A and B are shown apart, each in its own frame.
Chain A
Amino acid sequence: MTEGTADDSASELVKDLELTLRETSICGLGQFAPAPVTSMLKYLPDEVNAHLRDAAAQPVPVRCGQRPGSEVPRE
């Protein structure tokens, strides 16, 4: 997803993992671990979709949170 190469199965995978981690982890850390990703998908769906769309069109992988065209070289 970050690199923009994810397809539809990836979002399903994220959903399954999120459910499993949140519901069945033994400790609270595990239960909370998927929260950042979940909240991003919940509150910023448009941005995520735009990123996926734009990144797919880019010749160079773009990292999440960067506008197309303003990428910095990866270290």
Chain B
Amino acid sequence: MSDELIEVTIDGQVVRVPRHTTIFDAAQQLGITIPTVCHLPPQAPAGVCRVCCVDVWIERDGKLSRERVMSAACARKLEPDPGTRIHVKTKTDEVQQARRTLIELLLADHPSPCAREQETQDCELEAKARELRARPQRYQPGPPKRPPIAAWVTRDDSHPNITVDHAACIVCDRCVRACTDIAHNNVIGRAGKGNATVITFDAGQLMGASTCVSCGECMVSCPTGALTNKGFGDATIEGEPVGAETLLNLPSPDGGLLLEGIAPRFLTKVLGPIGKNKGGVVRRRVRKNEVICREGDFGSTAFFVLEGKVGVRITTPQSRVRNLPGVLGRFAVRMRSILGPEPSDEASQATIPIDASVDLSRAEPVAERGPGELFGEMTCLNFYPRSATVTAVEDTVLLEMLRPVLQLFKRSKRFASWVDGCYRERTIDTHLRGVWCLQGLSDESIHYLRDRVTLERYEPGQVICAQGDAPDAFYLVRLGFVKVVVKLPGGEVVRNYHGRGGFFGERGLLLDQPRNATCVAADHVEVVRIAAADFWEMLTRSSPAVRERLVREAQRRNEENRLATASAHNVHLEDFLQQGLMEAQSLLVLDLDRCTRCDLCVQACATAHDGVTRLIREGLRYDHYLVATSCRQCRDPLCMLGCPVGSIRRRNELEIHIEDWCIGCGVCADNCPYGNITMHPFDMTIDDPERPGRRKAVVREKATACDLCKNLAPDQEPSCVVACPHGAAVRVENPREFFAIDLGTTGEHGTD
């Protein structure tokens, strides 16, 4: 994309966008949403439904002329000829009329209301029809589709997870693009012409007999009831299975039903397999004083209290609960489980601050959660370790659910807004109490701040505050990494980065200077933003120690900046961030000065994992180290985000597990920025969909990634490290510390 910015006028408003931006995207920047059916970012536009049609006018020499026909806003790029300017009208009577007719024609061939509309009231086509006040009864339905496929069925139930209803399909092409461009599976295509066009699987097979890997991408892309979910497959967590009725009757904290808006039939259908002792949600009974989840553990489930009461405790002050890696870490976990929460004298030491309280009595619970409340959802949704220990105060009955189930529940608007609200409130509270820089803040000021600060999310590459701006806020990093970039006459230099628990923006406020650096999100970042006024109010309300600490830090950074500007460019730090090394919690590096390329590490890995290596002795170099292609156990595990069945997860420890219920869709492998997850074909037998009662052998792909050899020898270093005869292979648990010399950074507070 070129950097050239062009000006366009949309509905009388002017917007500047890069050349080649689509009309749809440009309009979105102005807050104008053009209705679409077939367009679903991030899929590439296809422009087949035409519902996004808009009027385009070209201005040349001050004269406006209308283009011969309307354009599809999703596909039409803004590429004005020199000397011309584009004007777009999105809401003229003609445009509205054309849209209405298009929707009416689409609906004429669509059973109305379709199965999805009846079950979940979320058929996009019907919603659009209502929005545009379409009158589908003006048209007669056409003849049934008869595509040139030998074994044609309108309703295809052959697939274990997905039902295909060709009658409801409007051939919008979304599933085809999802399967081809997004998931790269290339299973879904089209067959037939005109009204007889249908989607097909491979060369006209039934979906169950095709090479579909059940990633579900098509299903979530489908706007109508053509591709719908049958169930969760074999996802299993331990516990007693629950039926849909139990879930539907869950009360909401504000009265009413929690899952309001999710139609009973849909829930019954989705949770169907759970009745057969399988499922993503189970009931668990917990005795008094039993620990349900422990601070610092990794996990992938959320809990909902049905009966009883649980206490939330933050056990470790100034906690180093991060992930407890390594032998000592595991030992510590075990010791803690035997001895209970250790009385800690670490408070005075400089340790790594994480979500943990500093000024609360550790014996007393921070909060109690009773029936109808949810906990554990933070870890479930953001993949970070548990920030508190939860113990049953009395005998308690809980529902434990996997991430896909929690996300399914979030389809209920009431549940979603409630979960988001809880998340924000608890996040801000625990974070304000836990960060090092605000240690010593009174309860009252925390309450004051909690109601005023905002929790903001940034995508990778987004600018949080820019160099030269007036200081208007103080930021605490809650999740992810923030890059500090300084613009110098010779280009941009990455000066530093802040991780979880870090903070920035205090320098400008305290020294009353404009921002001297740009802060950019390096990955998915969540920050707590404290506006300038609240920042000053906080300082007046709190003890002088807080202010002193911040001033000292600001001066130290100022000094560091001055020295760094005088010295050479810090290329190493830039590389470090670019290679994503700061994310690593167990990074396999090979010291190239010692490595003789004997390949024993790879052989050891293969021997440990049924002959399939999970380590490739190839990769980027950093200083004199080779960063091998092997899972680095990221803090922000991008691989887990897309998993449709929640099979790639952390149980209670650091290492990433790929559970047996992996369906081989390859989303995790695509999402891993470092290529550390490999899809490997495994032989297995399945029920033959074409000949009931018979089994057939198939090759199914499953994802494989380094599991740190935890199944093999839980208390040892991974095989690759053990096998290396030259001591070249090292697992680095804290890259910032390990590469401190290269980075030229100090072990600074608030970043780790």
Mark A residues whose CB is within 8 Å of B.
9, 13, 16-17, 19-20, 22-26, 31
Contacts and interface: CB of A to CB of B under 8 A. Distances in A.
Contacts of B47: 26
Contacts of A26: 47-48, 50, 72
B531 interface: no
A26 B53 CA distance: 11
B69 A19 contact: no
Given A26-B47, A26-B48, 13 more contacts: A16-B100, A17-B101, A19-B101, A20-B98, A20-B101, A20-B102, A20-B105, A23-B53, A24-B50, A24-B53, A24-B98, A26-B50, A26-B72
A23 B69 contact: yes
Contacts of A19: 94, 97-98, 101
B532 interface: no
Contact of A16 (B50, B70, B72, B97): B97
A24 B101 CA distance: 11
Interface residues of B, number: 15
A31 to B, nearest CB: 6
B138 interface: yes
Nearest to A22: B69
A26 B98 CA distance: 14
B405 to A, nearest CB: 41
Contacts of A20: 97-98, 101-102, 105
Contacts of A23: 53, 69-70, 94, 98
A24 B48 contact: no
Q: Which of A19, A20, A22 has the most CB of B within 10 A?
A: A20
15 contacts: A16-B97, A16-B100, A16-B101, A19-B97, A19-B98, A19-B101, A20-B97, A20-B105, A22-B69, A23-B53, A23-B98, A24-B69, A24-B102, A26-B48, A26-B50
A65 B542 CA distance: 93
A32 B516 CA distance: 61
B71 to A, nearest CB: 9
Contacts, number: 35
Contacts of A25: 50, 69
A26 B50 CA distance: 8
B398 to A, nearest CB: 54
Contacts of B69: 22-25, 31
A54 to B, nearest CB: 26
Contacts of B94: 19, 23
Contacts of A17: 101
Nearest to B47: A26
A24 B54 CA distance: 9
Contacts of A24: 50, 53, 69-70, 72, 98, 102
B472 to A, nearest CB: 47
Interface of B: 47-48, 50, 53, 69-70, 72, 94, 97-98, 100-102, 105, 138
A23 B50 CA distance: 10
Contacts of A9: 138
Contacts of A31: 69
B147 to A, nearest CB: 21
B61 to A, nearest CB: 26
A27 B285 CA distance: 64
Contacts of A22: 69
Contacts of A13: 138
B38 to A, nearest CB: 12
A23 B100 CA distance: 13
A60 to B, nearest CB: 23
Contacts of A16: 97, 100-101
Contacts of B53: 23-24
A17 B100 CA distance: 10
A9 B104 CA distance: 15
Nearest to B68: A31
Q: Which of A9, A25, A26, A31 has the most CB of B within 10 A?
A: A26
Nearest to A18: B101
A30 B97 CA distance: 18
A22 B101 CA distance: 12
A28 B47 CA distance: 15
Contacts of B100: 16
Contacts of B70: 23-24
A26 B101 CA distance: 15
A31 B53 CA distance: 14
A73 B449 CA distance: 88
A16 B132 CA distance: 15
Contacts of B98: 19-20, 23-24
A24 B98 CA distance: 8
Nearest to B52: A24
B508 to A, nearest CB: 53
Nearest to B67: A23
A34 to B, nearest CB: 12
Contacts of B105: 20
A4 B102 CA distance: 26
A31 B50 CA distance: 13
A13 B97 CA distance: 11
A23 B70 CA distance: 5
A41 B138 CA distance: 21
Nearest to A12: B138
A19 B101 CA distance: 9
A17 B97 CA distance: 10
Nearest to A20: B101
A25 B49 CA distance: 10
A45 B101 CA distance: 24
A48 B50 CA distance: 32
A26 B45 CA distance: 14
A20 B102 CA distance: 7
A13 B135 CA distance: 11
A69 to B, nearest CB: 31
A16 to B, nearest CB: 5
Contacts of B50: 24-26
A25 B72 CA distance: 10
A24 B50 CA distance: 6
A40 B38 CA distance: 34
B215 to A, nearest CB: 30
A24 B72 CA distance: 8
A22 B97 CA distance: 13
Pairs of residues from A and B, 6 with the lowest C-beta to C-beta distance, nearest first: A20-B101, A24-B50, A23-B70, A20-B98, A24-B53, A16-B101
A15 to B, nearest CB: 9
Nearest to B94: A19
A22 B70 CA distance: 9
A16 B102 CA distance: 10
A30 to B, nearest CB: 10
A50 to B, nearest CB: 26
B746 to A, nearest CB: 61
A9 B97 CA distance: 15
A19 B95 CA distance: 9
A26 B100 CA distance: 17
B52 to A, nearest CB: 10
A72 B72 CA distance: 46
Contacts of B138: 9, 13
A44 B48 CA distance: 34
A24 B95 CA distance: 9
